[in-house]
Amino acid sequence: MSALRLASTTPATWAQAAAADLPALLSDHAHCELKAAASAMTLLRHHAGRPGLVACLAPLVREEFDHFQRVLRELEARGEALRPDRPSPYGAALIAAAGAPRRRADGYVRALLVAALIELRSHERFVALLDCPAAAPLHALLAPLAQAEERHGATFIELACAAAPRAEVEALFHELAQAEAGILLRAPPGPRVHSGAPAA
């Protein structure tokens, strides 16, 4: 795990910009949790026979949905409703960079590494928000979520390493991590977990 890290670090300006509209940020993350649960369920449907997959991902699906409910409760406590989902240019671009894994016969490891990168980036973004005074009202919610995102990223990497040689997994991870960093550089700023940083 130590060798498999994100290829870029989020600028401090991102957290300040993302925290400018906390209800929008919460709604975006609620949808991220639903998408994470759905992606894990898709892996289970298509690859249920893979050793260890069900044991790893069934609890993960439950946890993602629990996090979704936590975010909904935070919105409700603020007198806010869940906003409609908006397409994620980040997620779509990362899936494209991985070669649309669901359409590939060899897409299992690629799909796992896409999921790992999303979870690890979410962890890194939550840590940035935990260091941001403007996001202080969300710190109690985000601290345990950040830990879970990091743990989920490690789970997907472990599953990938169980399915393919470590050297192959590392090479593909580094390739996708570079692509992911470039996607964020081009992403527009805004109150989203995977938005771009504002221009300096």
Structure tokens at 149: 């995102």
Alpha-carbon distance of 79 to 23, in angstroms, equals: 10
**What are the extents of the domains in the chain?**
16-186
For residue 79, give the DSSP letter. T
At 105 the pLDDT is: 66
| CATH 3.30.830.10 for the 16-186 domain, yes or no | no
Alpha helices by DSSP H, the chain = 12-18, 22-47, 53-77, 89-97, 107-130, 139-163, 166-186
Collapsing DSSP to helix, strand or coil, 194 comes out as coil
- pLDDT tens track for 43-93: 999 999 998 999 999 999 999 999 999 999 999 999 999 999 988 899 999
Structure tokens at 147: 């830990």
Q: Is the pTM of this model over 0.85?
A: yes
Residue in this structure with the two tokens 């005074």, named with its chain if needed: 133
Q: Which of 101-115, 143-157, 186-200 has the lowest mean pLDDT?
A: 101-115
- pLDDT tens track for 139-162: 999 999 999 999 999 999 999 999
At 34 the pLDDT is: 97
